[in-house]
Amino acid sequence: MHIALYQPDIPQNTGTILRLCACLGIAAHIIEPAGFPASDRAFRRAGMDYLDAVAVGRHRSWPAFTAWRREARHRLLLFTTTAPRSYLDFRYRADDILLFGRESAGVPAEVHAAADARLKIPMRAGLRSLNVAVAAAMAAGEALRQTGDAPERDVDSGHFGSAHEPKGKGSL
Asked if residues 100 and 136 have their Cβ atoms less than 8 Å apart, the reply is: yes
What confidence tier does 170 reach under pLDDT thresholds 50, 70, 90?
Answer: very low
Instruction: Record the pTM.
Output: 0.85
Task: Using alpha carbons, list the distances in angstroms from residue 15 to 93, 123, 144.
Answer: 25, 25, 20
Please report, for the domain that includes residue 127, its CATH number: 3.40.1280.10
pLDDT in tens, 76-106: 999 999 999 999 999 999 999 999 999 989 9
Q: Identify the three-state secondary structure at position 100.
A: strand
What confidence tier does 151 reach under pLDDT thresholds 50, 70, 90?
Answer: confident
Does the pLDDT at position 165 exceed 80?
no
Closest CA to 56 of 32, 92, 87: 32
- For residue 70, give the H/E element and its range: helix 62-72
pLDDT of residue 161: 45
Sheet containing 97-100: give its strands across: 56-59, 27-31, 2-6, 97-100, 76-79, 117-120, 85-86
Q: Identify the three-state secondary structure at position 72.
A: helix
Pairing type for strands 117-120 and 85-86 reads parallel
Q: Which residue range(s) make up the domain with 117?
A: 2-161
> Is residue 127 assigned to a domain?
yes
> Is residue 19 assigned to a domain?
yes
> Is residue 170 assigned to a domain?
no
> Is residue 172 assigned to a domain?
no
Mean pLDDT of the chain: 87
What confidence tier does 138 reach under pLDDT thresholds 50, 70, 90?
Answer: very high
> Is residue 168 assigned to a domain?
no
Of residues 44 and 124, more confidently modeled = 124
36 in the Ramachandran plot: left (φ > 0), alpha (ψ -120 to 50) or beta?
Answer: beta
Burial of 151 (0-12, 13-18, 19+ CB in 10 A): middle
> Is residue 171 assigned to a domain?
no
Closest CA to 56 of 71, 43, 73, 75: 43
Closest CA to 18 of 60, 47, 49, 59: 47
> Is residue 166 assigned to a domain?
no
pLDDT of residue 149: 80
Any bridge partners for residue 5, and if so which?
Answer: 30, 100
pLDDT of residue 50: 81
Counting the structural domains of the chain, the total is 1
pLDDT in tens, 42-85: 666 766 778 888 889 999 999 999 999 999 999 999 999 999 99
